[in-house]
Amino acid sequence: MKKPEILFLKQEDVLAAGLLDMKMVLDVTEETFRLMSEDRVINPPKIKLGLPDNSNWTSFFMSMPAYVNSGVPVAGFKWAAESKQNASEGIPYGIDLVVLSDPDTVFPRAIMDGTLITAMRTSAMAGVVARRMAREDSEVACLVGAGVIGRTMIMAMREVLPNLKEIQLRDLDVKKSEALSSEPGLGVRVVPSRDLEASVREADVVVTETTSRTPFLKRAWLKNNASVIQMSSYEIEDDVLLGADRVAVDNWEQLSRGVGTLINKLFREGRLKREDVSEIHELVSGEKQGRASDDELTVSCLHGVGAIDIAVSAKIYENAVARGIGRKLNLWDNPLWV
């Protein structure tokens, strides 16, 4: 009788298996979007359980299942969770878990910490879209949010914007942006910003990565040929998106149905239609045009898709097996009630 052997990877194991290689994560992310364009990915919209409710949550849990038919097909899900009270207790705001399974036998392959996987794949998704929506000569980026995603976003923007000279890093907690900006080895000049409007006005690329539920980014602040990437639900004012020459999303079905998202609001109001936007997989495959000229204002709204988590986690699992990392567990000694 076969025993399902599960590889358990704690956060330190995930790092030891190469997670901080942003180029690798970007490659996996881009490849997964390409597989989406070939109908080799099944990615249902995420299911959210907010407490006390989805609109006014203080904590939430989210199930993100996916199937990725790559070289070694894998099925799995990310169980994503966030709590507002965590920051005051010195623990991560988000705590995520990833489970990988064999799609044929349904035996579990791995259980691993997904918190840093989320951070890396989130910024990699922004990197993939920036390659197609930002100007090639972009020199200044403004990142709004100096948390975990701010750290990985620096890594991604440095990797995909070849002419990047400076990142202005804005956070409501100035000490956080100052601390991150002063870290060695960032690979690009990072400057803590005390004036959001001034930083946005200078920026060729603006990335918002906050927990704000109130839009704060104004159209009047933006260069007419800037690229805006919104990583949360509703950080940019309506006319930023409605005034854009090109709009991209990671998953139209998910965002158009998502309670509290800008895309959902504009869709319900009849001011945005599916044909008005491109999905990232359409840009990667060449089915849709990314930025067509240096004169365009582009806007991208990304809210995360489980398939990227699963694909990146599968790569980490592969690396961990090859390097002998992790702890092996068994689901049973002998299955009962077969």
**Cα 296 to Cα 276: distance, rounded to the nearest angstrom:** 15
Give dist(CA 15, CA 329) in Å, integer: 20
Residue 148's alpha-carbon distances to 120, 121, 145, 256, 266, in angstroms, are 9, 12, 9, 26, 29
Look at residue 189 in the predicted model and tell me its pLDDT: 98
- pLDDT value, residue 1: 59
Q: How confident is the model at residue 87 (pLDDT cuts 50, 70, 90)?
A: confident
Single out the residue of 124, 118, 114, 178 nearest to residue 146, CA to CA. Answer: 178
Whether 94 and 81 have beta carbons less than 8 Å apart is answered as yes
Find where tokens 């986690």 sit. Answer: 313
Sheet containing 298-301, strands listed edge to edge, beginning at the edge strand earlier in sequence: 189-193, 166-170, 140-144, 205-208, 227-230, 298-301, 246-249, 278-279
Question: Which letter does DSSP use for residue 113 in this model?
Answer: E
pLDDT tens-place string over residues 116-127: 999 999 999 999
CATH 3.30.1780.10 fits 5-117+306-330, yes or no: yes
- At which residue do the structure tokens 């597989």 appear? 35
For domain 124-301, which architecture applies?
A: 3-Layer(aba) Sandwich (3.40)
Question: What b-and-e string marks burial along 66-90, b requiring 16 or more CB atoms within 10 Å of the CB?
Answer: bbbebeeebbbbbebbbbeeeeeee
**Looking at residue 217, what is its pLDDT?**
98
244 — pLDDT class (breaks 50, 70, 90)? very high
Strands in 121-241 per DSSP E: 140-144, 166-170, 189-193, 205-208, 227-230
Domain ranges for the chain = 5-117+306-330, 124-301
**What does the DSSP 8-state code read for residue 247?**
E
Each residue's pLDDT tens digit, 157-210: 999 999 999 999 999 999 999 999 999 999 999 999 999 999 999 999 999 999
In the structure, what pLDDT confidence band is assigned to residue 211 with cuts at 50, 70 and 90? confident
| CA angle at 252 for the pair 247 and 256, rounded to the nearest 5° | 100
Whether the predicted pLDDT of 256 surpasses 70: yes
CA atoms within 13 A on the CB side of 126: 31
- Kindly state the average pLDDT of the residues 95-99: 97
If you search the block for the tokens 């509290």, which residue do you land on?
A: 260
* Predicted TM-score of the model (pTM): 0.95
Instruction: Assess whether pLDDT exceeds 70 at residue 62.
Output: yes
